Amino acid sequence: MHIMPNARVYSYLRFSTPEQAKGDSRRRQTAAADAWASARGLTIDDSLKITDAGISAFKGDNKNAALGGFLALVNSGKIPKGSYLLVESLDRLSREAVLKALPSFISIINAGIIIVTLGDNNTEYSYEKMEDNFMPLMMSIMVMARANEESATKSKRVRAAWKEKRE
């Protein structure tokens, strides 16, 4: 892995419900990001607090919150090429249907930002890696599809349970 001299490291933390703030989500995601950066002699740029606490990614609500702010900086070129975006998993970025989730993922990659998923052996998604080998792109699409399916199933179960309670 070649790290560019102007590379910055950003960590994106997200969890869906306020109740999860009482659990281990924040500590777990922060510890994984810190360990990745430390192992490479890098420091996470804390000038951007990219945290969506208690914000769901199933309907893309996080695109109107901290993640949306980061995406705007990426799209305006204010995040330097060669920078890293650390996420626990791709489902932190989105749990939307693939055709809604994929454009944000691709825009980050096309801007020269490297997405690192910390929960699966530090998988790196970069333009350079996917330019000649589409398998990481295929894997990312499968991860996005699985995340959306999990959230859709959970949503149906919760709606059914509330309907049962009302009746």
Alpha carbons 62 and 166: distance in angstroms, whole number? 30
Tell me which residue of 111, 62, 59, 61 sits closest to 87, measured CA to CA: 62
Alpha carbons 164 and 110: distance in angstroms, whole number? 46
| Number of residues written out for the chain | 167
Alpha carbons 109 and 125: distance in angstroms, whole number? 7
The residue ranges of DSSP E strands in 8-95, in sequence order, are 9-15, 50-53, 84-87
Query: Can 38 be counted among the known catalytic residues?
Result: no
- Choosing from 16, 83, 104, 140, the catalytic residue is 16
Tell me which residue of 150, 15, 151, 37 sits closest to 93, measured CA to CA: 15
Q: Nearest 5°: CA angle at 13, between 72 and 130? A: 65
Q: Annotated active-site positions, please?
A: 16
